[in-house]
Amino acid sequence: MTGRRILVTGGAGFLGSHLCERLLKTAGNEIICVDNFFSGQRRNIERLQSNANFELLRHDVTHPLFVEVDEIYNLACPASPIHYQLDPVQTTKASVLGAINMLGLAKRLKAPIFQASTSEVYGDPVVHPQPESYWGNVNPLGLRACYDEGKRCAETLFFDYHRQHRLKIKVVRIFNTYGPRMHVKDGRVVSNFIIQALRGEPITIYGDGNQTRSFCYVDDLIEGFLAMMNSADEVTGPINIGNPGEFTIRQLAELVIDLTGSKSTLVFEQLPSDDPKQRRPDITIAKQSLGWSPKVSLQEGLVRTIAYFEEVLKSRR
């Protein structure tokens, strides 16, 4: 199917900008990118603004939006702890009110709607790896709850709209994703380590570094998004999209040092509240229902990401 008019909320963010770019590669697609630039960056979409099929709207999804589109991808919400803890009330609003407003729009238009949920719905998991059937272990009162519980509530809203209004929904749970266009100051582990290594600064590890994460390169993730949106109507999700390769935080730091040729040393600080000890997706359903699995190795993805941050740092000198 070609020639779709597609709304992408959070379209100037790290993932949103890659999604907009990828969608524009299909002939005839018209993209409406919506962002309030709380954490999104104009530089992420500069190359797209000369495309006649790309339109940018500055808008906050906590307020209703009235546009005519064929599909909706709802990505609007700050996703890094530094950003979402800066204004936790607004973070919850972005997830919950944003979902309500986008679902209302999808209902009026009878359009399929995609929700970018998160592995954070699993909290600090006691089941490993995490399958979609696991209900999670989330602290509803903690510093991360504005994001974790906001996304959990958004999933509830999506499935209630699906059951009550027969809305076509697609829900994915995103596991740690990295790549070009990550925000320099987003506080996430991959960008933190690369920036510190390139500057020759000590690399900060929180805790003992033995906690694990699974890192998915952004191009793989976006292909998972498209596979999900283009899947059969009965495939609603939630479906885990991530790379099941599991690494300790210390292993990641050592790999970044090696790939950058940095002389950085490791320093250890106290682990933040509610920081998960393990994180790894079970992607069995993604393989079976979408025919999707990640292709880019951590080393290959880091090489590309390091090259991006080298250019960013050069431009700021």
Alpha-carbon separation of residue 40 from 52, 138, 186 (angstroms):
21, 27, 11
Residue pair 113/228 in contact (Cβ under 8 Å)? The answer is: no
222/261 Cα distance (integer angstroms): 30
User: In the annotation, is 84 catalytic?
Assistant: no
Residue pair 258/143 in contact (Cβ under 8 Å)? The answer is: no
What distance, in Å, lies between the first and last C-alpha atoms of the chain? 46
Q: Which residues pair with 216 in a beta bridge?
A: 177
Residue pair 208/247 in contact (Cβ under 8 Å)? The answer is: no
- The per-residue DSSP string of 81-145 comes to HHHHTTSHHHHHHHHHHHHHHHHHHHHHHT--EEEEEEGGGGBS-SSSSB-TT---B--TTSTTH
Residue pair 282/131 in contact (Cβ under 8 Å)? The answer is: yes
Selecting among 147, 161, 178, 217, the annotated active-site residue is 147
Residue pair 134/121 in contact (Cβ under 8 Å)? The answer is: no
Residue pair 174/224 in contact (Cβ under 8 Å)? The answer is: no
Alpha-carbon separation of residue 122 from 34, 128, 152, 181 (angstroms):
28, 10, 9, 26
* 309 token code pair: 């941050």
296/156 Cα distance (integer angstroms): 32
Q: Which residues carry out catalysis?
A: 147
